[in-house]
Amino acid sequence: MTNYDAIDNNIALDLGATVSAGVASQVGSINCVPISDAVSGTAVACYVKGVITHAVTAVDDMGNAAVSVGDKLYLNSGVLNVDSVTGGTAFGVALEDVTSGATATIRVKIEQY
């Protein structure tokens, strides 16, 4: 039998850079969001699963593109969008819509791929 009581939604990680609390980040292939400001060389508690609110920009590889509920979001130089080709790395799933070309703070489900 598996003991699910030991599973937590955050872990301590060294992000390898100075990162403000609440900014979508990655450590290797681990998608995370630091709970407090992070400094390189020091582990900080980070959310690795669950739902966060984060700015999402409605653009893709070709330009402006609406974000719809259920769209996969990619982290690209600190920005979440629907751009999968130009440097984007899968991060999570949009739980709200964003109008084409706009940036809005929406709920995002963190995924580990």
Amino acid residing at 35: I
- In tens, the pLDDT along 71-92 reads 999 998 888 999 876 778 999 9
**Whole-angstrom distance, CA of residue 61 vs CA of residue 6:** 40
- In tens, the pLDDT along 4-63 reads 444 568 899 999 999 999 999 999 999 999 999 999 999 999 999 999 999 999 988 788
| Residue 70 main-chain phi, psi, to 5 deg | 95, -10
Q: How far is CA 71 from CA 13, 44, 60, 80, 112, in A?
A: 27, 29, 12, 11, 15
